[in-house]
Amino acid sequence: MTVKAIQSDVITDIQKGEIPVHVAVIMDGNGRWAQERGMPRVFGHQQGAESVREIVETAAKLGVKILTLFAFSDENWGRPKMEVKALMKLLDTYVLQERAKLKKENVRFQAIGALDQLPEKTLAAVLRTQQELSHCTGLTLNIALSYGGRNEILTACKKLAKKAQAGIISPQDITPQIFEEHLWTSGLPDPDLLIRTSGEQRISNFLLWQIAYTELWFTPVYWPEFRKEHFYEGIKAFQSRKRRYGLLAET
């Protein structure tokens, strides 16, 4: 059997089970991966871009509808200037280089986060890609940039408070649905599966509202070496879970 045939067998096997509609990933461990190889942290970020390419392709092949990738957090602004600059440059390069390929693969691209914090050039590249791929109907690639869950919730509260102040909405009419419409993820269903690489088992301010009932899966693999086999492993773990949402299991 060829490698390709084995791969397609694995995919067919996974597709017999439930494919999570929305997968979110905390892509962690770039710096440690590089440092353990005697390389600068930025080298890890560059290699991480390769993993992004492979996982976007794999998620689309499996039939995942939304892939949300945590690329840069609110807190990451506090890292050394050199690293932040290198990350923003990598981001520019990624969105510019991948645009045509994503379009060909029918991938819709969108960014969430405090985007106004991004350098002008990065923001322009992100918005242009978002606009150019807005008509695509395949996988939605949702990149979290300058993103913080607390900031997202607070921003939603401020929008609602302003509407209440202007008499557009009454506080007692604010339902979870209305609240969600004011989040950056408005229109997207909550993640079914959250993957974090690098062995850390924490959320680090990611999608705090949205992961209330998300299945969590942690792997020790550093992001730059995360490949499709690891992604399959995460999906299989998801397929072995019983989601109850606080109710009783079906008998």
CB closer to ligand IPE out of 30 and 219: 30
Task: Report the residue number, 19 or 74, with the smaller CB distance to ligand IPE.
Answer: 74
Token readout for 243 is 């989601």
Q: Which residue is nearest to Mg ion (CB)?
A: 28
From the list 221, 206, 212, the residue with the least C-alpha distance to 28 is 221
Cross-strand partners of 141: 67, 109
9: annotated active-site residue: no
- 181-200 binders of ligand IPE (CB under 6 A): 198, 200
CB of 175 to ligand IPE, least distance (A): 30
* Residue among 69, 71, 59, 70 at smallest CA distance from 20: 59
- Which of ligand IPE, Mg ion, none does residue 204 bind (CB under 5 to 8 Å by kind)? ligand IPE
Which distant-in-sequence residues (6+ apart) come within 8 Å of 22 by Cβ? 64, 65, 66, 67, 68, 188, 189, 190, 191, 192, 193
Residues 186-205 that bind Mg ion (CB under 5 A): none
Site for ligand IPE, residues 1 to 60, rule: CB under 6 A: 26-32
CA gap 24, 12 in Å, rounded:
22
The yes-or-no answer on residue 28 being catalytic is yes
Interface with ligand IPE, residue 73, by CB under 6 A: yes
Residue 28 touching Mg ion (CB under 5 A)? yes
CB-based contacts of 107: which residues, under 8 Å, 6+ apart? Answer: 56, 60, 133, 136, 138, 139, 140, 141
| Total number of residues that touch ligand IPE (CB under 6 A) | 18
Binding site for Mg ion (CB under 5 A): 28
- Residues annotated as catalytic (active site), given as ranges: 28, 76
